[in-house]
Structure 1
Amino acid sequence: MLCYWGAQVREGLGLVQPDKVKHGNSGIRSVCPKTKVQDMSAGRSFVGFIQDGKVSVLRLRSEDYDHDGRRKQIQLKNDRIRLIVCGGDGAVLLAYGGKVLIMDKSTVYSSSRQTLSCLKSLKSLKFECFSTTDRHVPTVVNSLHRKKTVSISCGGEHTATLSKGGTVFTFGSGGSGQLGHNSFKDEHHPRVVAELWGSEVSQVTCGRHHTLISVASSKRIYSFGCGMQGQLGNGKMINESVPFPVNLPTECNHEYTIEKLIAGENHSFALFFKEPGNESKPNPSRGILTLDDRMIDRWLSGSDPWKVIKKEINKVFSSAASLNGSFLKTSCDQHYQTSEDHCGLDFDLAKTSFAKLTKNEMSTSEVVKVVQQMLPSLNPNPTGVESLRVYLLLPELIRRLQKQQRTELTEALASKILQLNPAARKVLETNWSKLPDDWLKGLVKLFKKASANLIGRMAADTMNWDIMTRLLKFVQILQMVYQVCCRANRNITKSDFIITETNDLLDVVRTKNLCIWLSVEKEKYFLFGILCGLAFNNTSVVHLPFPLALFKKLLNVKPSLEDLKEFSPVLGNENVWTDFTHKFAHSYIVILIFFYFNFCYRTDFVDKYVDYILNKSVEEAFEEFKRGFFKACDRCMVEIFEPEELRGVLVGNEEYDWDILKQKTTYEGSFYAEHPTIISFWEVFEELTPNEKKAFLLFLTGFEKVPILGMSAVKMRVTLLLNSTQDHLPQALTCHSLLALPVYQNKETLKAKLIEAINHKRGFWEE
């Protein structure tokens, strides 16, 4: 049954009046559709109906148009319509396939980009933004934050919202009393309609200058606002500023359920369904399609054809809005509490669902393609903190989707994160700081793995500026996450951010005393300098046995013959009267002395030769290294050190105190200080030679010298190597100074395996 009241709605609806329905003097009339009405909406010029997927409109008489009041069916080709929303002189139609159609007074248009672009010229509605200024982009209504809003309706110049508990807020123009606040004043902020407090309001809809409310518990409809044409349904032609009940036929309260309220310009409609014995319930809101665990289970079960699954995948993963609405923490309505400090996501559910999703190769491949197309569409100026949920879900999704050697999705995501406006990026960083530990580490691993992949390509190829640009994005994200972790005191250390593949960039030549020097190839030394500068900034010891000459050059101190002797003792002590050949940086410099030097020329020759070896021959490479080094750290901080001190900060010193190492060691899992394996380990360690102990330090930490702060800065942790046998070697995770030991049956086996491990490998665990 359809009840209508207000401005004259002419006969010709193609409907019949219900039997035995008595109408009072309030101007309310009712008709029964021959075919069930699926949806309807009212605008200024017409009322739209959807019946059996077909659209028909009833033209309304107004001061501008004099229509004959006949209902006319709109001819559509193959589109079945499920939803209609009418505005002033037009309407928007939504087809079952998701297609959007736009209809004006006489024509239906497809929602092409060209057609939709005309919407930009439309006047914007007035929203509560602490001003009366028009807004042409979506703007957050901060006063409704955490009000659990489930429904919104906009009138000519006012807006009404409905909260989950049934509370109604109105704001905007109140000149006709349409706000229901017992006044005719405008409201710039959402204000509760106090007269409805405590009522279980299920629907709210706004007309041009009036508002309709339905209360589920009493099956009543209330109205307020402009009533000059009877649109309030109370039998009076006056404006009302507080809610008054609509005088519905008695049958409506007993035999029918209110399905939908529609408020047009100067008329009102109520659509009732006859469902005996069924109490009136709030009208379920139409939500967008979102991803959930049940949907993924259905994809994996194969119960639906691939065509249907593919269509759903495209709908969900092509829309940031769909992902933002997925995996919400609905228990206790926590998702309604979304704020800058609370994202409202159920991370455990999302992680489980993504793990399921990647089990099906066809679904995974399709998701990768759709996400690749969706990422460029992300808005760098998102509206509201809810819009940032997609940036929290995508890293975990991409980490599981992306193949080992692919970085396209990660790169696209990194670009979009870096493009976010400062305010949005600040909120995202706050959300990062509150991520569960496994999600936070997963975020780091995603960009760390992508960085390692690109570094590997750079090491295998000549300098590629495109790769460097892409790498910079990943490093910037890692730097952002690292700073977030430091500020939030998260249980993740700087060691988690170390990319061990940077060793591949160190194209250096070792001499017999294990000193290294710069290659004549300069391209990679800018990056190398950045790495060393970062190590200095973070007080990290690195295994880089450069001679003192390098640190002198960084501090603008002139290298000497003694520095050449440190670099190459053989060359430094060589008799300058003899012929010699020196292999230097893949090039051979052959110097043949054909003549007798007078004593006065000897010093000059040595000075020039030292200058050539330590300065001129590597000038370009060193300048690149120096530029990179000071790009990553403050020159003023570096210059407070003497060359020997600077070398100590970067590469450590040789003041070994193995007793302190033992005192600072902690034990995890089933190990403890008095465990037989631990006792045997320290006994074996005491028996090692000094060089073997240094090799163990290198095996454990990645460097063989002592940090500038002393051995107390090395905090070794010992844990059990899971699923190990007597044949397994000890392993080490150098980023964490973590030693993993099998439980050996005797001390002899432990010693043999430990020496074998420290002599043959560095001890990195594969992640």
Structure 2
Amino acid sequence: MSRCWGAGSCGQLGLGPAAAAAAVSCRPGPALREAACGERHTLLLRPGGTVWACGDNDRGQLGRRPPPARSYAPEQVQALEAQIITRVSCGKEHSLVVSNEGKVFSWGAGSEGQLGTGEFKEQSFIPKKIDVLLNHRVLQVTCGHYHSLALTQDGRVFSWGQNSHGQLGLGKEFPSQASPQQVASLNGIPLAQVAAGGAHSFALSLSGVVYGWGRNSARQLGLNQANTKEQVFKPWSVAALKSIGVIYISCGDEHTAVLTQDGSVFTFGDNSAGQLGYHFSAVKTGPQKVEGIDGPVSHLACGSYHTLVYISASGQLMSFGRGPQRPAENETTNSQGVQVESVDISSLVSANDLCGIGVKMIFAGAYVSFISILQSQSPEHASGISFMDELPKISKIDRTRIEKWLGVTSTNNELQEAKRSAQGASPFDVDLQKARDVFDELTKMDWIANTISCCLREHLIPSLPLHSVHQEAMSIFLLLPECPIMHAAENLESLVLHLAKAIHSMSDRSSDLLEKCWLSLSASCLDNMVQLFKKAVVSQLKWYYTYPFCQNAKPLLEVLKKLYRANKKAKSTLQLSNFYIPEISSIVNLQEDVARWRRWQATANSAGDDNTLVTFCCFPFVFNLVSKIQVFRTDSVLLQQGAKVIAQNIIIQNQLLRNSDLPDFPIFPLEVNRNNLVEDTLRKLCLVEDSTLKKQLMVAFKGEIGLDAGGVTIEFFLTLFEEMVHPDYGLFMYCETTSPMWFPTSPSIEKKKYYLFGILCGLALFNGVIAYIPFPLAVFKKLLDVKPSLEDLKELSAVIGKSMQAILDDEHDDIEENLQLNFCISWDNKDIDLIPNGSSIAVTSKNKRDFINKYIDYIFNKSVEVVYEEFKRGFYKVLDKDIVRFFHPEELMEVTIGNTNYDWNKFEENAEYHGIYTPSHPTIKMFWEVFHDLLLEEKKGFLLFLTGSDRIPILGMNCIRIKFCFNGALSEDHFPQAQTCFQILFLPPYSDKEILKEKLFIALRNNRGFGK
């Protein structure tokens, strides 16, 4: 059964001719499941799936040929007699229905293409199937005045008809469409509902996000005040509705109402007749909650200019807006049948009209309204059935479905049915942990795993939303890596590679949206994604030397690059080592990779060019520390060898031409005076050409016999830097006794020396020499364009750093009185205003963070800008910044100056023995007993004696391998001798421990100089 009321002047109430003469109060009607109302006609869906129509038929909207021109009583649409109809919808003068098979039929006015039949036909009297949608199972249809929308089972939205206001959501460049077109902007968003108003449209996602488009002249889209467009041609997310939990949308001609999970109603748009639920004279913008509703609303429907809400708990039906007013008992209807407008049409339904009636659904049209009535009054039906329960939805996974699938065996008759339902299912929740658990549970069944794999490969990945502007569409990119199928070795190429290609080909805006999603991920979810693409890269390493297959690694590496960038923006949720791929150095020849990289740089190609070979140097974040050092050393050696090859070729060419000219010297020879080392070195550096700096450095001390195989160069830098960084030299300042050195604000030494010091630091690194330069980490951060922090201030000055931390941690509001600080500091014997007139501006709880930031900026940047830039210019005069940037600041620091992480037991374990010596030789046993009894400074002195440096390389003690050798010319009367270039110790065959100890100590006290 049903009830209806309103103005049925054209018979659209279906109550006969008598009901068309005036407004009708609530009256009984036939049983119906659903009603849809156009401007002057109505479709009634009966419980058996038949469609009946009444009202005006001058455009064929009743689904039959005239005469008569209108029908005052419902008549069945005979053309649909063989169909079981599940949904009906009406536009202004056209009609749509959906069958139980998901097919769509249309009829009525079609001049704007709203019938979807491919023609702009004035009218169609007989329902016709929309052929374009035959390959899609349609769940919902909805009509605006002159346009139509459909939602399919796989979550796609199609639109057709008039597009003069953008109501199709296709874009401004699209005219009206006579055939359904997919709304690409909504791809990938799991939707619960589509709704249409006069010339505007909405889609509601399963998570409650509302998307609107079309006409916005009355602000019926609910967009924020900044968006004053009167026409929106593509779906926009309605920000004002994001957090209120929308579960249903209904549209009037130029207004919209939404229902939330807690039963609240929000309205927006045209309020000229009070249809928003408050007086039309009130000025309000954006979605507003309708006040004065007694209880949570369970049902909602919009007519053209009125709104209905039903409160199931109290059985109360409320309405607001414009409609025909029922004449009072002492009044008569206007002789001409003119309808008198009113802002309150609730007078047509009294409280007694619905007393004891269980309302199932409510429907509103132009000036008419319908309700369907529950046949059963059992307790479970007492509150009616919600719109959401009645709306057909796209498939989704729930516990019932999971249990059903897991209960199916390979011999069960339900297997095929379960497979069909699995192919239609689509997880949508972005609770990634829950998704991971469900995937793990499901993929234990082989048939489910195979079905998922097939669906991913053939359907889902090829149709990923690559150009969506909606963040919700990005959910699928977060869900896929949680599926164990993706991580299987056999799917790394067929699934993960294609997923990476899809992500790499996304539009810039979609890519930015996905990156924002990554920023919000937990560490475990982000790492799961990183490990997936890393495994896929490893699977492609076998093709490194084979073109074009080697290019498959590129999109995988590009996606890892995006993830790496997102991780850095998220302030390193993951350790940077999580991105390392150690397999690269064991499978790929890094010398070849460096050469490829340099060739690519020389040709100025982009990293993504399809015609270039893959090179991992374009993605240095995948290198572990061992690989980075290997790449850096390889690049330096290639440059040094390149100079030698060029010189050799010139010599050969000149010999052929009988030319006696010699090429430039292929090495960088540097002879210096030990007694005047600093000034002699700096003077000679000023005379060196830039190209010479990138050649192999060969150092010689005047008057000393020593062929430089590395050891002389090591001692050169050791001795040189010891003098230059000493406080007495004046090049650097020391804030505190134990603090690292820093650049002075007012240097007493000429600026050029900082440039030359930078060159010397670059030369040491370029030639593989570890030299102790007591810089703080902040210097290496600045060299890599990383901003120094409060932690760096603590390293430079523990006193100041701790004070700043205390200020930052102080949560009291009276910090100004307690500290009595202002924006003026004392640094390097000078008072400095951090801001204009800083000495008169106090530090407060509100501006203390700004004070600390400006303090740090002054010390590390502004105060030393001139001298630091000179140092940096010299440093990068020798080194290529592109390859230095492979390192993180901490890594660059240790590569440059080494560390003091001594492991003396490891030092002994790594020892090599030659000649007469073995680990059990008496002299060797005595040596290690003496060595382990030494003090730390004495052990460091021995390291200096053996290697030329008392620092440990960044890769640790494994890089230091002492080699014990026997020299027959040496006796107990001789001292131990060392070849620092090769870490060889010539140890005489001492027979007494005390003699060994005495001779060793004397050697350590004379551990400088070559052949003096």
Give the TM interval when normalised to the shorter protein.
0.5 to 0.7
Question: What is the one-letter code of the residue matched to 2:71?
Answer: D
SS class of match (2:98):
strand
Is the CA contact 1:448–1:497 (under 8 Å) kept in the aligned structure 2?
A: yes
- Equivalent of 2:127 in 83, 108, 113: 108
Secondary structure in 2 matching 1:268: strand
The CA deviation string for residues 432-485 of structure 1, in whole angstroms up to 9 with x for no partner, is 2332332211100111122222222234xx221x641x3222111111111222
TM-aligned CA deviation for residue 4 of structure 1? 0.9
Alpha carbons 2:93, 2:108 under 8 Å: kept: yes
Distance in 1 between the 2:325 and 2:163 partners?
Answer: 31
Q: CA deviation at 1:368?
A: 2.4
Q: Which residue of 2 aligns with 1:128?
A: 222
Q: Of the candidates 71, 74, 96, which is equivalent to residue 68 of structure 1?
A: 71
Deviates more, 1:211-220 or 1:649-658: 649-658
Report if aligned partners of 2:10, 2:40 keep a CA contact under 8 Å in 1. no
How does 1:226-265 map onto structure 2 within 5 Å? 226-228=322-324, 238-241=340-343, 244=346, 247-248=349-350, 250=352, 252-254=354-356, 256-265=357-366
1:640 to 2:640 alignment? no
Structure 2 spans left out of the alignment, 5+ residues:
17-21, 61-68, 110-124, 135-157, 168-199, 201-215, 334-338, 601-611, 667-693, 696-783, 786-871, 914-946, 959-1012
Q: Which of 547, 558, 561 matches 1:463?
A: 547
Instruction: Answer yes or no: is the 8 Å Cα contact 2:7–2:324 preserved in 1.
Output: no
Q: Is the 8 A contact 1:293 1:353 kept in 2?
A: no
**Which protein has greater RCO, CA pairs closer than 8 Å, 6+ apart?**
1
**1:294 paired residue number:** 400
Quote how far apart the aligned CAs of 1:173 are. Answer: 1.6
Match of 2:7 in 1: 7
Q: Who is 1:149 aligned against?
A: 246
What is the CA-CA distance between 1:420 and the residue it aligns to? 4.1
Quickly say closer, same or farther: Cα 1:656–1:10, change in 2 above 3 A. closer
Pairwise CA distance, 1:229: 6.4
Q: 3-state DSSP class of the match of 2:249? A: strand
User: Are the equivalent residues in 2 in contact too, given 1:202–1:216 (CA < 8 A)?
Assistant: yes
The correspondence for 2:535, drawn from 449, 463, 467, is 449
SS at match of 1:275: coil
In the TM superposition, 1:168-567 aligns within 5 A as 168-183=265-280, 189-196=286-293, 199-228=295-324, 238-241=340-343, 244=346, 247-248=349-350, 250=352, 252-254=354-356, 256-276=357-377, 278=379, 279-281=382-384, 283-285=386-388, 286=391, 287-302=393-408, 305-317=414-426, 323-324=427-428, 326=429, 345-372=430-457, 373-382=459-468, 384-397=470-483, 399-400=485-486, 402-404=488-490, 406-459=492-545, 462-464=546-548, 467-468=550-551, 470-503=552-585, 506-507=588-589, 530-532=615-617, 535=620, 540-542=625-627, 551=636, 554=639, 558-559=643-644
The alignment status of 1:30 with 2:27, answered yes or no, reads: yes
1:614-653 equivalent positions in 2, closer than 5 A: 639-641=876-878
Counterpart residue number, 2:147: none
> Which structure is larger by alpha-carbon Rg, 1 or 2?
2
| Structure 1 residue 11 displacement after superposition | 7.7
1:92 to 1:638, Cα distance in 2 relative to 1, 3 A: farther
SS in 2 for 1:136: strand
2:911 to 690, 693, 701: 690
Q: Distance in 1 between matches of 2:507 and 2:948?
A: 44
Q: 1:554-576: CA deviations, max 9, x gaps? A: 48983389x99xxxxxxxxxxx9
- Contact 2:485-2:491 within 8 A present in 1 as well: no
Amino acid at match of 2:437: T
1:85 maps to 89
The 1:104/1:9 distance shift into structure 2, 3 A limit, reads same
Q: Where does residue 944 of structure 2 map in the other structure?
A: none
Counterpart of 1:113, as a letter, is: V
Counterpart code for 1:30: R
Task: Please give the secondary structure, in 1, of the residue aligned with 2:490.
Answer: coil
How far apart, in 2, do the equivalents of 1:249 and 1:498 lie? 72
283-292 or 161-170, larger mean C-alpha shift = 283-292
Cα drift, residue 411 of structure 1 = 3.2
Find the aligned partners of 2:404 and 2:949 in 1 and give their Cα distance.
Answer: 56
Q: Which residue pairs with 1:335 in the alignment?
A: none
Offset, 1:400? 4.0
Counterpart-to-counterpart distance in 2, 1:307 and 1:176: 55
Alpha-carbon offset, residue 178 of structure 1 = 1.5
Aligned 8 A contact 2:15 2:29 in 1: yes
Q: Residue type matched to 2:877 in 1?
A: I
1:51–1:654 Cα change, 3 Å: closer
Distance 1:488 1:519 in 2: 30
CA separation of 1:100 and 1:355: change in aligned 2, threshold 3 A: farther
What is the CA–CA distance in structure 2 between the aligned matches of 1:381 and 1:137, rounded to whole Å? 13
| Structure 1 position 387, deviation (Å) | 2.5
1:660 paired to 2:660: no
For 2:105 and 2:87, locate their aligned partners in 1 and report how far apart those are by CA, in whole Å.
10
* Superimposed CA distance per residue, residues 187-237 of structure 1 (whole angstroms, 9 cap, x where no aligned partner): 6521222233x53111111111111111122211111211136699xx996
Instruction: Using the TM superposition, give the Cα deviation of residue 269 of structure 1 relative to its aligned residue in structure 2, in angstroms.
Output: 0.8
Per-residue CA deviation, residues 383-417 of structure 1 (Å, 9 max, x unaligned), is: 54333222211222265475435423223333443
Contact 1:292 1:353 in 2 (8 A): no
Q: In the alignment, is the contact (CA less than 8 A) between 1:296 and 1:357 conserved in 2?
A: yes
SS in 2 for 1:107: strand
Letter in 1 for 2:625: S
State the match for 1:41 in structure 2: 36
User: Could you state the TM-score of these two structures normalised by the residue count of structure 1?
Assistant: 0.63
Aligned-residue Cα RMSD (Å) equals: 5.0
CA apart distance, 1:367: 2.1
Scaled by the length of structure 2, what TM-score is found? 0.49
Letter in 1 for 2:84: R
In the TM superposition, residue 532 of structure 1 has moved relative to its aligned partner by 4.4
CA gap of 1:118–1:483, structure 2 versus 1, over 3 A, is: closer
> 1:638, 1:316 → 2: CA distance?
60
Between 1:241-250 and 1:354-363, the stretch displaced more is 241-250
Q: Deviations over 1:671-700 (max 9, x none)?
A: xxxxxxxxxxx6xx46413369xxxxxxxx
Q: Secondary structure at the match of 1:559?
A: helix
Once residues 954 and 665 of structure 2 are traced to their aligned partners in structure 1, the CA distance between those partners, rounded to angstroms, is 43
User: CA 1:450/1:176 → structure 2, altered by over 3 Å: closer, same or farther?
Assistant: same
For 1:77 and 1:507, locate their aligned partners in 2 and report how far apart those are by CA, in whole Å.
Answer: 74
Q: Is the 8 A contact 1:90 1:104 kept in 2?
A: yes
Q: 2 CA distance for matches of 1:12 and 1:246?
A: 16
- 1:265 deviates by 1.5
8 A Cα contact 2:308 2:319, kept in partner: yes
Q: Distance in 2 between matches of 1:380 and 1:231?
A: 59
Q: Which has the higher mean CA deviation after the structures are superposed, 130-139 or 412-421?
A: 412-421
Distance 1:377 1:173 in 2: 38
Cα 1:107–1:311, aligned 2, differ >3 Å: closer, same or farther? farther
Q: Which amino acid aligns with 1:134?
A: Q
CA distance in 2, matches of 1:714, 1:502: 21
Task: State whether residues 300 and 362 of structure 2, in contact with CA within 8 Å, keep that contact through their aligned partners in structure 1.
Answer: yes
> Deviation string for 1:724-744 (max 9, x for gaps)?
xxxxxxxxxxxxxxxxxxxxx
Residue deviations 1:470-507, cap 9 Å, x none? 32221111111112222223442222212234236634
Cα 1:64/1:75, change in 2 over 3 Å? closer
| TM-fit CA distance, 1:60 | 0.9
The answer as to whether partners of 1:541 and 1:652 remain within 8 angstroms in 2 is no
SS in structure 2 at match of 1:313: helix
